[in-house]
Amino acid sequence: MRTAHFENLAEFAGNIADPEEQAILAPVVPGVSYESVHHLSQSQLRAPDAGQISTIRRTATIRPGTRMIKLLSARQVSAYLQGRRPSGFCYREFDLGPLRSSTELSLLLGDAATHEPASVVFGPRWRAVDPADYHIPFSGEVAGMPSYAGLTAISPHDRLGPPILGTGFAPSRSHLVPEFVTADLADLPMPVGTSLVAFAPDGTEVSLYLYIPEQRGWTRMFGPQHKHLLRGLPEISTEQEFVQSGVENVGGSYLVGRYQDQTYEAVADPPEGFRVLSRAMAARYRVEAVVRRTPYGTWRGAPCTVVRVEGDWNRVRLCRPDREGAAALGMQCVERGVYETWAPAGEIGPVREMDQPYRAASPL
């Protein structure tokens, strides 16, 4: 992983607010080297080192327009084509620059049912809309950031993918790879320009599908020479030009904005802003006062988001998974850090749609 160094702590602190997609920053002070920072990134947060590594970690910022990516195994691809949205662990695309082949990227998969490297790694790629959509998965409260300490204590038998270190970095023998989670592990509505890409063993990157929000589906982008990348994937036809997302918008997060004092469902179009989500071009007005609206509830005392609704049953996802809670509630680990189950709607505490306003962003 690339890093930049500064001669003193004042210069270092001043550059935390540099433009998007910068390298991680580290101060040039005695005892701080790439090797020492990497060692701290792979260890549990303990004072006094916790302050140093968390400060360095926070220099990997997200701003509106930052390119983000979530890595998927072949098993997960059909779920995203059918309506699943980005949630849980994700990365800035910039930070994965040194890891281009599927063999290298497969080490970061959140669906590691096997330790064998994947022949092809997939992932939705999108531009961040607002830093408020993302948290750093620290194992303790750092400068007011929420703690995800429960994830670090979950046993290998109850998780998928590599362990969660709590430092904000992914497990790696030689690279510094900062990782993020979606806020409260909730779904994020996909903005205009979201694509589904594949990484072949030789590092070749192929754009497979492009998401069309107005049609709630994916249009095919790949040619005949790349059909082999999807061979054997369940429920996917390589001949299909358009894939409808059949379950999207039944539960989960969505955007809402205002136009001429009326409220409309909205779509983000970074960096152009927000507009009404409409099939008709003439009705795609720019909207303001945009919020991400996410349904929250409580099931058996545990805070959850509601990610899907089917009749009298709700699909709920833990906001702060931990070993005891996940086991007691019978939660299934569907991917690294994400625990879900079906619950009777009548057993869930009042479901409230909470609004996260989008505004002028400060770095995360």
How would you write the pLDDT of the chain (364 residues) with one tens digit per residue? 444 443 333 344 444 444 556 788 887 777 788 898 899 899 877 666 677 888 899 899 999 999 999 999 888 999 999 889 999 999 999 999 888 788 888 888 888 655 567 789 999 999 999 999 999 999 877 767 789 999 999 988 899 989 999 999 999 888 899 999 999 999 999 999 999 999 988 888 999 999 999 999 999 999 999 999 988 787 788 888 999 886 544 678 999 999 999 999 999 998 779 999 999 999 999 999 999 999 999 999 999 999 999 999 999 999 999 999 888 899 999 999 999 999 999 999 899 999 999 974 344 4
Residue ranges of the domains in the chain?
A: 67-244, 254-293, 296-357
pLDDT given at position 19: 54
pLDDT given at position 213: 94
pLDDT given at position 15: 47
Question: Which residues, in sequence order, are CB contacts of 47 under 8 Å at separation 6+?
Answer: none
Distance CA 100, CA 105 (A): 7
pLDDT given at position 49: 66
pLDDT given at position 362: 41
3-class secondary structure, 49: helix
Distance CA 82, CA 80 (A): 5
Distance CA 286, CA 50 (A): 44
pLDDT given at position 103: 83
According to DSSP, the β-strands at 3-6 and 24-27 are parallel
